[in-house]
Amino acid sequence: MTIHTLAGQLSPDSALVDVNQLIAAYYQQIPDAQVAAQRVAFGTSGHRGSSFQTSFNEHHVLAITQAICEYRQQQGISGPLFLGIDTHALSEPARISAIEVLAANGVNVMLSVGDEYTPTPAVSLAILMYNRGRHTVNGIEQNTGLADGIVITPSHNPPDNGGFKYNAINGGPADTACTDWIGKRANELMATNLQGVQRMLLERALHADTTHRYDFMNTYVSELEQIIDLAAIRQSGIRLGVDPLGGAGVHYWGRIAEKYQIDLTVVSDIVDPTFRFMPLDWDGKIRMDPSSPYAMRRLLDIQADFDIAFACDTDHDRHGIVTPGAGLMTPDHYLAVAIDYLFQHRPAWGSTPGIGKTVVSSRMIEHVSKRLGRKLYDMPVGFKWFAPGLFDGSLGFGGEESAGASFVRMDGSAWTTDKDGIVAALLAGEIKAKTGRDPGQLYEQLTQEFGKPVSIRVEAPATPAQKKALSKLSPKQITSKLLAGDTITDILTTAPGNMTAIGGVKVITNNGWFAARPSGTEEIYKIYAESFKGEQHLHEIVAEAQGIVDLALT
């Protein structure tokens, strides 16, 4: 992976996205449903693309929204639909398009009060709170009257991207069967030049009897004390710092600090669709990734001002944790600490809830889970695989290596079934307040107990055809018996937690592993690797993994 010469620095003005041109392209460019790159395609969490590339345009949004309306009717989902957006430039025009279709289809849509930006977890929470107690009638499970949601966001992706995801009645990202149906129907609508799409003018839609306002922010903030011990944070007096990275939770943090009287400083409340304030990521692109040391440079420069500092991505479903000693924690390191802490400090959870991780997360989590005596569910990449368990209580915690996690309330009931960067960040403060040690220090304690792994994630460009080839990798294509000198003990193409395809391959030894899979949101592939034998061994694993990927892509 070649690091761009400007990584960690601000972008030159000349390289910033032209927002006016981007929005113009959203309306002017018409996607061709026969061209693969221009079709609706739901990745690990929604459809994403750029209007410049004709992969996220008005026709996409109109068609997807109509398909969702038809899916709701087919499934008997007749409750309100909660609609949220982030701060990307394409989110507002996409919101307008969606409202016009939802209103024309008679869907009761819930928009944020004052058109406030809406983090993904606030939408998930709203769905779950509305649906609480509504899932059964006379003991019979049914969908009538239940709510679902749409979040318009491309997550941490660059400023020229737009994104559109559907959250199901369980509050989490819709499952593959659902998104496959929606995607197929949306492409059919695009292929017929949107025949069958119902739509009304925005002014009429906003004043329709089915369009309502909902206070996402105050509802979310008022519930926080049910999942985080904010009293302990307040009483400890620890200094917290947060960088919202110009994202949807930008105004939530001040409200949290005010309501719960905690020492929380918002280091920047700038919202700018060019994201000119963001240091460039490893490849020279602006990317609001709180797990990247390059994108987090601004917060890292002032980390000494706080006991704990953190950031969230643009829709606030991912977190980045910074401590004075460890700096920016690797996501897996923090997940291991969070799991170890939560399952020892939430007595009301009981002994039933298990732990969810992805197949590309650290083996450290396996060690912690075993010591805790908790069942571990090893799942494919994508938070949708954790949503059912977080909803029904079989999972107490679900987390991804890409810094996305959620967990249940203190009483063991569901909180959010989509990723929640806000509570993951605030948990770091609770950990410091209750234990006297920050997550970085607690991770070092874990390494003394289980060994000190080193890990890396390598990313490289890949065409759609190359990504498809990589996702079809078979164990038969890996003929070697050794990986970096160690005997290969397992080759996985399905996740042990649910026997679902992982969209790539994972090769395991007693001392390390690697996994290779295409990104579900960008035109890149990723190699994840971990070693318990040190940096040199890790480099050997990565080199051999790249050789395998190169063969698959040729």
User: Rounded to whole angstroms, how far apart are CA atoms 476 and 443?
Assistant: 37
369 classed as catalytic: no
311: which residues sit within 8 A by CB, 6+ positions away? 242, 243, 244, 245, 290, 296, 299, 319, 320, 322, 425
User: Rounded to whole angstroms, how far apart are CA atoms 385 and 122?
Assistant: 19
DSSP 244: -
Distance from the first to the final alpha carbon of the chain = 19
Residue 180's H or E segment, with its range, is helix 176-191
Residue 355's H or E segment, with its range, is strand 354-358
Choosing from 97, 155, 291, 369, the catalytic residue is 155
Amino acid making up residue 443: Y
Q: Cα 314 to the chain's mean position, in Å?
A: 10
70: which residues sit within 8 A by CB, 6+ positions away? 185
- List the structure tokens of 211: 């369009």
Amino acid making up residue 337: V
Which residue intervals of 14-57 are DSSP H helices?
19-28
- List the structure tokens of 153: 């966001």
- List the structure tokens of 483: 């990986």
7: which residues sit within 8 A by CB, 6+ positions away? 279, 280, 281, 282, 283, 284, 294
Size of the chain in residues: 554
- List the structure tokens of 86: 């982030």
Burial class of residue 31 (count of CB atoms within 10 Å of its CB; 0-12, 13-18, 19+): buried
Ramachandran quadrant class, 485 (left: phi over 0; alpha: psi -120 to 50; beta: rest): left
135: which residues sit within 8 A by CB, 6+ positions away? 141, 142, 146
Burial 336-351 (b: 16+ CB within 10 A, else e): bbbbbbbbeebeebee
Amino acid making up residue 210: T
In degrees, to the nearest 5, what angle opens at C-alpha 317 toward C-alphas 316 and 322? Answer: 75
User: Rounded to whole angstroms, how far apart are CA atoms 422 and 313?
Assistant: 10
Catalytically active residues, by annotation: 155
